[in-house]
Structure 1
Amino acid sequence: MSAQTSYPKPDIRVLLLEGVSPTAVESFRNAGYSQVQLYDKSLPPEKLREEIAAAHIVGIRSRTQLDADVLSHARRLIAVGCFCIGTNQVDLDAAELAGIPVFNAPYSNTRSVAELVVAEAIMLMRGIPQKNAQCHRGGWSKSAAGSHEVRGKTLGIVGYGHIGTQVGVIAESLGMQVIFHDIETKLSLGNARTAGGLDDLLARSDVVTLHVPETTATQGMFGAAQIARMKRGAHLINASRGTVVDIDALAAALKSGQIGGAAVDVFPVEPQGNADPFVSPLVGLDNVILTPHIGGSTLEAQDNIGLEVAAKLIRYSDNGSTLSAVNFPEVTLPEHTGSLRLLHIHRNMPGVLSQVNDVFSRLGVNIDGQFLRTHPKVGYVVIDVTATHEQATQVRDELARIPGTLRTRILY
């Protein structure tokens, strides 16, 4: 259990790793946070434990691993920001049980991924990967054979979420026919139409692009059976998750001609860093575009991510709002001008709220407003009061003694 007061902003230490966008640094400094430390790369384990022990807010990208052991050293930590889409690099359960909300940027790189996918569809339809490889070897294959415009062709989108819908809008502007399949009923944008199931989509599409999340249901969902149902010579794009496609089955289909070409940005096993070798059955195949998991890696996307995640972290630190936290009860809070705000994070167990309210009753402190949300494991109570600093501190100390309390804070 950790009882914390609200430090003055100049005393709050913000640790940003892995070259987080300068827009995040600027956002923190503009909000009054002067202690912002920025590292261009991830830190070795021992250095990470040392730095995180002194940090109140930590921002990472995909390489830094915040497991339970690392988080156990983070006694002052109040929030984590993942400046990317995924949060697999954080032990979300351990963070939740330590009273630490985790925020990410699930949509800020949507346009960047969508643009790459549509560009790859054009390149594949024109047979550019093969021709490019031939030219690099000194060959010269000036022929229209196997080269097609995308106008009038059918693009099949598997997973019609934020990225899938953007892919469809851009593809339609090029004159493509767009069909999609999703496990949930989705409202189509433009002239996109729902396919009659995955098999129907595979049979009709000239290009299939995958945009599904990583879940137990999507692991290995696209294997030899699904590839066999595609049009012979059609193209496959995977910019979703590396575990979705059976890479060995894809390599075999590319060699046999069942699939005419593929573009793959994500892989079941990826190098840990730029200096590590990349190994895949797809290496050396002329009809494949291989990219190192950079679908959302544009300067524009990184700037947007920096702004979005920094704003969430600042709002939580200043206000207590947890909207869009991935592991925490979500509370959208008004400003608390003229009131002190107490935050009480506790294990989700019976009787805690009554004990919280009993503290205020016993100490004679009137509650101006109260907000409560719960997760299966954690409850989050926010209480606005009109009180002196001494009264608020006394209340905070009493709240910290309630069994099951994880953290308490005062916001002034």
Structure 2
Amino acid sequence: MPSQKTNGTVDQQQASASQAAVTAAVTAAPLQDTTRAPRRSSITHVREKVLKPFNTKEIKILLLENINQTAVDAFKYQGYQVEYISKSLSGPELIEKIRTVHAIGIRSKTKLTKAVLQEAQNLIVIGCFCIGTNQVDLETASKLGIAVFNSPFSNSRSVAELVIGEVITLSRQIGDRNKEMHRGVWNKVSNNCYEIRGKTLGIVGYGHIGTQLSVLAEAMGMTVYFYDVLNIMPLGSAKQVATLENLLAASDFVSLHVPELEDTKDMLGEREIMGYMKKGAYLINASRGTVVQIPALIKALKSGHLGGAAIDVYPKEPAANGPTFDIYPDLLDCPNLILTPHIGGSTEEAQSMIGIEVSTALIKYINQGSSFNAVNYPEIDLRAIREEENTVRVLYTHQNVPGVLKEINQIFADHNVDKQYSDSKGDIAYLMADIGGVTEEEITSIYNMVSSTKSNIRTRVLY
């Protein structure tokens, strides 16, 4: 993803976070000859205006599901009021909490349904501190003028490393030997235990995680094939195959990295596993629990058709840690099977990066209106307003119907529009406009007129 210019407040946050490292570097550097005239830098720093909402005194943030401290710190640095809850919420408790907040941060357990979102009167933005967004009713969020952001790649390395570990663990039957040793059984065997060098890894879904996995696998001497619905330029020596069936038939290990869609639901069943995968091959699912049909997997493992499997995701997952996981009983008796509780992205590094990435996106949307990388909104941005400029920013989410821009431009006609940008996505459109030289009374007038238009979904004014 290309790097983005951050606003002034985020720049300050990053500068503060790295101050210790900068100080150490300076003190460790050799002394310079101060008798020479210093070289002038051609880079000048433009101070950006810190915008604030026209009609909101305080921004309230609700963070659920033990979101990383990096996000908490980022929001508090902005002066926002932050409520932090380590668990997920649901039902009346969630509705009560969400009613007054301007932003909410969740992971995968909290479900923001239509009924919940309709109760969120002040909510302008949702942060999914994870990859998936299927826990949010995106259509309803769009219709209510609520932008949704996620973290599409920050945990990619962590998931890829887990898969590499599982490939080795399955190939050497380490899981079974570990369980035997815990029971006091010494069972030193080499039968059906292999090196992964020279073996073929088939990757289903060649996105952020798939490509990371591809590079790691090749570095360990594996041949990599991948299948994706899009034509993608491979990294290294990886090769794209035309069909899923071709990939399954060619691979010693198959690793799944696809989103949860109608097209991916039950993607691998008995036909694919027993009919196309090699006898003795291994299956790894670190994508979504609905992609693999569990009864078909059990049959393939118990019959010996599969040499082993590793599962990190399940069709139904509990909302909290504890002894409440409802799993297929027959799955627990399968040989050479690794079961983990959806920990693919559960590393300190990944959670820290996710906290930074999503909080930065939310801060830019709240403070500047930038919708870049929103999953449900038109992606637009305007350059920052300079500190010395007497300018306000109008943010207008509206129904994507004819005549709206004409109506808006008539409202703006008596003012100096410094810059303006509009785009649409489906039934929703989003406009950003910077208007210069306006008084307090004119700000109120602009806000009232824009928010009173028939197509208005949500209007915000930052000044």
Query: How far is the alpha carbon of 1:50 from its aligned partner?
Result: 2.0
1:372 is matched with which residue?
A: 422
Taking the aligned partners of 1:190 and 1:118, their CA distance within structure 2 comes to: 17
Give CA-to-partner distance per residue, 1:101-151, whole Å, 9 cap, x none: 011101111001000001000011111122222223332211111111111
Q: Deviations over 1:274-309 (max 9, x none)?
A: 232231241222310001111111111111100000
Q: 1:59–1:80: 8 Å Cα contact kept in structure 2?
A: yes
**Does residue 269 of the first structure (1) align with residue 328 of the second (2)?**
no
Cα distance in 2 for residues equivalent to 1:107 and 1:141: 41
Residues 87 and 320, structure 2, Cα contact 8 Å, conserved in 1: no
- Is this contact kept in 1: 2:65–2:106, CA < 8 A? yes
Partner of 1:389: 440
Q: Is the 8 A contact 1:112 1:295 kept in 2?
A: yes
User: Shift in Å at residue 7 of structure 1?
Assistant: 5.3
- The equivalent position to 1:225 in structure 2, one of 257, 271, 283, is 271
Q: Structure 1, residues 165-216: CA drift from partner, whole Å, max 9, x if none?
A: 1111111111111111222211111121223533332222211111122111
Map 1:26-37 onto structure 2 (within 5 A): 26-30=73-77, 32-37=78-83
Alpha-carbon shift at residue 266 of structure 1 (Å) = 1.0
Match runs of 1:133-172 below 5 Å: 133-172=179-218
Q: How does 1:345-356 map to 2 (within 5 A)?
A: 345-356=397-408
Amino acid aligned to 1:379? A
Alignment RMSD (CA, Å)? 1.6
Instruction: Tell me the residue number matched to 1:278.
Output: 326
Matches within 5 A, 1:1-150: 6=53, 11-30=58-77, 32-150=78-196
Report the CA distance shift for 1:333/1:224 in structure 2 as closer, same or farther (over 3 A).
same
1:247 aligned onto 2:297 = no
Residue of structure 2 aligned with 1:191, choices 226, 237, 246:
237
Residues 147 and 10 of structure 1: CA distance in aligned 2, closer, same or farther (over 3 Å): farther
The alpha-carbon deviation at position 241 of structure 1 amounts to 1.1
Provide the secondary structure at the position in 2 that maps to 1:282: helix
User: Counterpart in 1 of 2:23?
Assistant: none
**Partner Cα separation in structure 2 for residue 93 and residue 200 of structure 1:** 36
What is the CA deviation profile of residues 68-96 of structure 1, one whole-angstrom value per residue up to 9, with x for unaligned ones?
22212211111111111111111111111
Q: Is the 8 A contact 1:129 1:286 kept in 2?
A: no
Q: SS at the partner of 1:262? A: strand
- Residue by residue over 1:337-384, the C-alpha shift from the partner in whole angstroms, topping out at 9 and shown as x without a partner, is 2221011111111111111111122xx222111110112111111111
Secondary structure of the corresponding residue to residue 121 of structure 1 = helix
1:403 match = 454
**Residue number in structure 2 paired with 1:329:** 378
Comparing 309-318 and 7-16, the one that deviates more: 7-16
Conservation of the 8 A alpha-carbon contact between 1:103 and 1:324: yes
Q: Are the counterparts in 2 of residues 209 and 238 from structure 1 also a CA contact under 8 Å?
A: yes
Q: Which residue of 1 aligns with 2:6?
A: none
Q: Higher mean Cα deviation, 195-204 or 321-330? A: 195-204
Runs of 4+, deviation exceeding 4 Å: 7-10
The TM-score, its normalising length taken from structure 1, stands at 0.95
Q: Deviations over 1:202-235 (max 9, x none)?
A: 2222111111221111111111121121111111
Q: Distance in 2 between matches of 1:390 and 1:9?
A: 16
- How far the C-alpha of 1:9 sits from its partner, in A, is 8.4
Query: Which ranges of structure 1 fall in alignment gaps of 5 or more residues?
Result: none
Bigger mean CA offset, 304-313 vs 364-373: 364-373
| Separation in structure 2 between the aligned mates of residue 325 and residue 309 of structure 1, nearest angstrom | 10
1:11 counterpart SS class = coil
Query: Residues of 2 paired with 1:185 and 1:9: CA distance?
Result: 47
- C-alpha displacement at 1:314, in angstroms? 0.3
Does the aligned pair in 2 maintain the 1:10–1:35 contact within 8 Å? no
Give 1:6 deviation, angstroms.
Answer: 0.8
Q: Which amino acid aligns with 2:409?
A: N
2:239 and 2:290 map into 1 onto residues whose CA distance is: 27
1:214 and 1:244 in contact (8 A); partners too: yes
Over 3 Å counting, the alpha-carbon distance change for 1:38 and 1:7 in structure 2 is farther
The residue number in structure 1 matching 2:34 is: none
Distance in 1, matches of 2:305 and 2:241, equals 22
TM-score (norm 2): 0.84
Q: Give the CA deviation at 1:319.
A: 0.8
What is the CA distance between 1:97 and its match in structure 2? 0.8
CA distance in 2, matches of 1:205, 1:134: 29
- What is the total number of aligned residue pairs between the two structures? 405
Report deviation, 1:323.
0.6
Call closer, same or farther: CA 1:258–1:249 in 2, change over 3 Å.
Answer: same
Of the three residues 284, 289, 300, the one matched with 2:338 is 289
